[in-house]
Amino acid sequence: MENHFQNGGSNNVIANPIYSTQDVSNLLKVSTRTIQRWRDSGQIKFSAIGSKFYYFHSDIVDMIKINVQ
């Protein structure tokens, strides 16, 4: 996790935001089911905590770059 933070005095600022499935759905204007299919097929990287899924901003950008060529 430490690569995802920048030191700014006593405050840490997240340099690579983390999104929930709903956040990604809203950002990309796709359904949560589409995001689930992307997870299942390995098209998008994710982390899971229990039954919740999270996505780093950089991984979303990478997925878009790969699929928009």
Task: Name the DSSP letter for residue 34.
Answer: H
| Residue 31 resides in a domain | yes
Confirm whether 10 is domain-assigned: no
Does 9 fall in a domain? no
SS3 9: coil
Is residue 29 one of the residues assigned to a domain? Answer: yes
pTM of the model: 0.76
For the domain that residue 28 is a member of, what is the CATH number? 1.10.10
68 or 54: whose pLDDT is higher? 54
Residue 4: half-sphere exposure toward Cβ, Cα within 13 Å:
10
**pLDDT tens profile 30-49:** 999 999 999 999 999 999 99
List of E strands, the chain: 5-8, 11-14, 18-20, 47-49, 52-56
Q: Provide the domain count of the chain.
A: 1
Secondary structure letter of residue 61 according to DSSP: H
The answer to whether residue 5 sits within a structural domain is no
- Confidence at 15, pLDDT banded by 50, 70, 90: confident
Q: Which domain holds residue 59?
A: 18-67
Does residue 2 lie in a domain region? no
